[in-house]
Structure 1
Amino acid sequence: MTQLIEDVLLLIFAELHRDPASLYSCILANKTWCRLAIPILWEYFSCAYNPYIHKEESRKKLYNVIAHFLPKDKLTEINIELLPSNPISNELLFNYMDFFTHLTPTWIEDMVQLTCKKDSTSVFNKLLLEYEIYFLIFSKCKNIRYFNWTKSKKLFLLCPNVKEFFSNLRHLKLNVEYMTPEILFNLTAVCQNITNLEVINNNYDEDSKDDDDLISFIRMKNNLPFLCAQLSDVISKNVVTLKKIILKLTITLISPTFFPLLVNLQYLSLYNDDDDELYDSVKWQEWEHYLSLTFFPNLQYLGTSYLPSSIECLIIERSGGKILEIDICHTLDHPTENRILIKTISEHCPMIRRLTMELINSNNLNEVCNIFSKCVHLEEIYFTTMSNGDKLNTVSKDNDQFVTKIARNFISE
């Protein structure tokens, strides 16, 4: 009976996972409640990408617990004063490091800034502290499954246990702006169990970067083709486990040879940041070849930006008819009627519930109407017309009524 009560409590606490104040109150109730609620509360804090959404006082309390596990002798040598002014004297009731499930460098940067004396701590000593934090995380945090590598941090690669840490990851987010061929080569060797992979390439803003950043940017751009080749290797090593892929970079630099092996893929988002390559047929021939050999039996989400319609059609045609949501964006510089694409959606996506699509006009209205007649589960649709860019956004289960609304819009034009 006790086990049943704890199971019920876990369900209740799980519902409070975004309410830290209530979870904190539960922790104070009794030992059983504390034991069950503490992991959920700590997971809530670790899941936030941006630590600054929490008050500084709360962050200091969190960092103070982490600092309890850091080597005091080493930190004393480099003149690091741990947070806050009241160190923990008693033994901790839990191994709190086991409760971390997410890791982003932003949290560690914030801890270093709040821990160090602003005027007396050198840059070198801050780097040493940062290294010790990474060393602690890689040694003690056995349950981290999500790592967000969107900062220029190579320091942690020097830490022991880095191979074991990355082999335990399930979700990995990378920014190629901070990647090097050596880093990606090492990732290929250690990342063997990734289910969710997100790769981004931050937009470059000349006004916001100094000369050193400009040099790094140029170096990254020159290395991008080779980096993308290495990235293909990372994906190829994880084709069996991968269920979610998000690529936001120059898609044509990625070799699509791994696509036929992605049999378990459920979520695919392809954002081509170089729309100038949109109609370069030579670049897309290889993609068309490998997609024609691919079958996505479990695909439920497809998102694309600035891809040729032929590529989008191939992905949809090769899906298993289980797609629930499609989000497609085309560049306005290359208008298209999208008739073939719309027809492909209506014929191969009988289960779709949400559709976002641009460049709808009176020339392809018949195909749009077929979507409503064939996709009977459609609940939400978002269209952009070609003529004036006005957006029609509605959530409706009355498909006939919505088709009439679109038709009236085109007639009035």
Structure 2
Amino acid sequence: MTSQLLTDCLNEIIEHLKEDCHTLHSCLLVNRLWCEISVRILWRNIGNFESSCQSIINSSILNTLFTCLPNESKEILHRNEIFISIPISKQPLFNYAKFCKALSIYEIGRLVDNIFRNKISFNSLSLKDRNYIVTNEFIKMFSNQISSLKKLSCYHNYYPIKFSFPYFPGVRDLSELHCCSCLPPNFFYQLSQLCHNLRTLSIDFDSYNISNELKELISLQKNLKNLKLSAKISSCASIIPTLKKHSNTVTKLHLYGNSNNLPYSFVSSFTNLQEFIFSFMGGSNFEDFRMLQYVNFSKLQTLKIPYQFPKPEYLMKFLENNGKNLKNFYTDESNKDLSLSIPDFCPNLKSLFLLFHKDELDALKTIFIKCQHLESIKVWCGKGYFNEYLSEKEIFDTVARYSPNNFCKLKIYSLSNSHVSLKDLESFFISWRKRIPKKPLSLINIKGACTSFDDYEENMKIIIAVFELL
């Protein structure tokens, strides 16, 4: 009982480290129990492994997977004269494939391709054929070993899938699917027979014909929450009626691509949206958005419009109707009227990314004064190719004097050399130290084409000295 309690506690503790791979790697070395718990978390998604030397990591993952292959697969590789540099008879410490909860067909194929690309082959197989055989053996192994798959990604048909979903028991628990519309209809048909509880669905529309099997798969879902659609080269208008069946359950909607390929007036039926990302290129007018400006999305909390946005008057009317509950607003377009309207239409914002031209300092001040819940802001500074934005000094002075008490995160994208002096920077941090209540400040500076905060070492001395006083 005591041993089980210890295991459960460690599971709970180490689970919180799942986003920190470096710490998890250290846990592997403590003892056998810590290793067993940590390795299960690390191998949930092999695509999450990160390293400063990714080629070494890729090679290690591939070698480990080779050792996990069943004897039948090893014999297939041997018959095709596909040899590896480690003894494939070596027994692994764990059945790593069984731990996997997220499977990417593309990532496995890419992993194999990267490892074998520069290796000399002494058999008659082409590189593509060799990669095809190895990739499919890995996929077969995962399909036989994974008892509960949560996420499946399959974005193109370069590596044809040979396994059949009815013999993949773990796919019944699938909650997240990322795919492209060009996959064979049978792929979607088999999946539709087993998976009715998808919560997240992401589709790239990259073929001119949308199969009825894909429509059926979408239609059969019982509780779809997150929907991401990308249409860059082909129209997906024919699938809109199927999507509308989920208008009451979908709370996150992401639309990407060309506005001509994805008519987005259908969004008006998704009135329970909490998050809406609207990312299009090549639609200078976005006339479809004119229909959305009067729709009431009473639960909307996050609105992101990177790249181009609709006519300012359309967006301002949209914010007038839906900005009261908005917590997060993001756009990298600039319009003075829009900036001035935000404090009135979106008083409860917590995070904001907006571009302020060099003559729009008053708009930033007004946002700080009226948006008293604001915690985070992202801005551009300096001179770009076509526009000049507020300077870092103006940003620092305004944040120090006008930001609300809850404010704690400043992110600056520097497009040109900074004109902030050491004295300016020191003054800013001293002002921050005197704030009541005192909250730790997260200051992030991302450099553009030119360097920013040039006297880096001296600046860091100031930052460290000031925060030691906090």
Alpha-carbon distance between aligned partners in 1 of 2:34 and 2:74, rounded to the nearest angstrom = 32
Q: How does 1:100-119 map to 2 (within 5 A)?
A: 100-103=101-104, 105-111=106-112, 114=115, 118-119=120-121
Taking structure 1 as the reference length, the TM-score comes to 0.70
Partner residue, 2:402: 400
**For residue 33 of structure 2, what is the aligned residue in structure 1?**
32
- 1:147–1:118 distance in 2 versus 1, CA, 3 Å: farther
Does the C-alpha gap of structure 1 residues 368 and 90 become closer, same or farther in structure 2, counting only changes over 3 Å? closer
Equivalent of 2:216 in 189, 207, 210: 189
User: Unpaired segments of 5 or more residues in structure 2?
Assistant: 167-186, 405-418, 420-470
Q: CA deviation at 1:388?
A: 4.4
Moved more, 229-238 or 104-113: 229-238
Which letter maps to 1:38? V
1:99 aligned partner: 100
Residue of structure 1 equivalent to 2:326: 323
Match of 2:343, SS state, is helix
Going from structure 1 to structure 2, the CA distance change for 1:238 and 1:248 (only over 3 Å counts) comes to: same
Query: C-alpha distance in 1, partners of 2:227/2:55?
Result: 25
Following superposition, the deviation at residue 58 of structure 1 comes to: 2.0
Q: In structure 2, what is the equivalent of residue 61 of structure 1?
A: 63
Cα deviation, residue 158, structure 1 = 7.4
* Aligned counterparts of 2:319 and 2:137: Cα–Cα separation in 1: 48
Q: What residue is the counterpart of 2:407 in the other structure?
A: none
- Cα distance in 1 for partners of 2:59, 2:145 equals 25
Q: Distance in 2 between matches of 1:390 and 1:264?
A: 36
Which residue matches 1:278? Answer: 284
Q: Is the 8 A contact 1:291 1:315 kept in 2?
A: yes
1:352 aligns with 2:358: no
SS of the residue 2:306 aligns to: strand
Q: Which sits farther off after the overlay, 298-307 or 49-58?
A: 49-58
For residues 370 and 124 of structure 1, what CA distance do their matches in structure 2 show? 63
Residues 72, 388 of structure 1: CA spacing in aligned structure 2 closer, same or farther, 3 A cutoff?
closer
Q: Which residue of 2 aligns with 1:313?
A: 316
- The residue type paired with residue 382 of structure 1 is V
User: Is the Cα contact below 8 Å between 2:68 and 2:92 reproduced in 1?
Assistant: no
Contact 1:49–1:106 (CA<8 Å) still a contact in 2?
Answer: no
Residues 84 and 349 (structure 1 numbering): CA distance in 2 closer, same or farther, change over 3 Å?
Answer: farther
In 2, Cα distance between the equivalents of 1:236 and 1:172? 14
In 2, the alpha carbon distance for the partners of 1:245 and 1:300 equals: 10
Partner of 1:215: none
Which has the larger displacement, 346-355 or 143-152?
A: 143-152
Corresponding residue for 1:130?
A: 135
For residue 410 of structure 2, what is the aligned residue in structure 1?
A: none
Over residues 254-282 of structure 1, what are the superposed CA-to-partner deviations in whole Å (9 max), with x where a residue is unaligned? 233542343443332222211xx313xxx
**CA shift for structure 1 position 200:** 4.6
Per the TM alignment, residue 42 of structure 1 is displaced from its structure 2 partner at its CA by 0.8
Q: Paired residue for 2:255, among 226, 242, 247?
A: 247
- CA distance, structure 1, for counterparts of residue 114 and residue 380 of structure 2: 46
Listed one character per residue, the Cα deviations across residues 124-175 of structure 1 (whole Å, up to 9, x for unaligned) are 4533443444444455445444444555547238743454486565445544
Structure with the higher helix share, 1 or 2: 1
Q: Which residue of 2 aligns with 1:209?
A: none
Mapping for residues 136-147 of structure 1, pairs under 5 Å: 136-138=141-143, 140-147=145-152
CA change 1:311–1:367 in 2 (3 A) is: same
Structure 1 regions of 5+ residues with no counterpart?
203-220, 331-335, 403-408
| Matched letter for residue 155 of structure 1 | P
**SS where residue 6 of structure 1 aligns?**
helix
Shift in alpha-carbon separation, 1:392–1:170, aligned structure 2, 3 A: farther
Preserved CA contact (<8 Å) 2:357 2:389: no
Decide whether the 8 Å contact of 2:204 with 2:229 is kept in 1. yes
RMSD: 4.2
Distance in 2 (alpha carbons) for counterparts of 1:17 and 1:69: 32
- How many residues are aligned here? 365
Show CA shifts across 1:212-254 (max 9, x none): xxxxxxxxx4xx12xx324645643544554433333113432
Quickly say closer, same or farther: Cα 1:144–1:229, change in 2 above 3 A: farther
Whole-angstrom CA distance in 2 between matches of 1:259 and 1:109: 35
Structure 1 residues 190 and 295: CA distance shift in structure 2, 3 A: same
Give the Å deviation of 1:376: 0.9
Aligned ranges for residues 190-205 of structure 1 at < 5 Å?
Answer: 190-191=217-218, 192=221, 195-200=225-230
Counterpart Cα distance in 1 of 2:163 and 2:320: 46
Task: Report if the CA contact (8 A) 1:302-1:323 is conserved.
Answer: no
Secondary structure of the 1:254 match is coil
| Amino acid corresponding to residue 302 of structure 2 in structure 1 | Q
Output the CA distance in 2 between the equivalents of 1:311 and 1:145. Answer: 39
Rounded to whole Å, the distance in 1 between the matches of 2:61 and 2:18 is: 18
- Structure 1 residues 269, 8: CA separation in 2 closer, same or farther (over 3 Å shift)? same
Corresponding residue of 1:207: none
1:370-406 superposed Cα distances (whole Å, 9 cap, x missing partner): 322220122424256999423445477545379xxxx
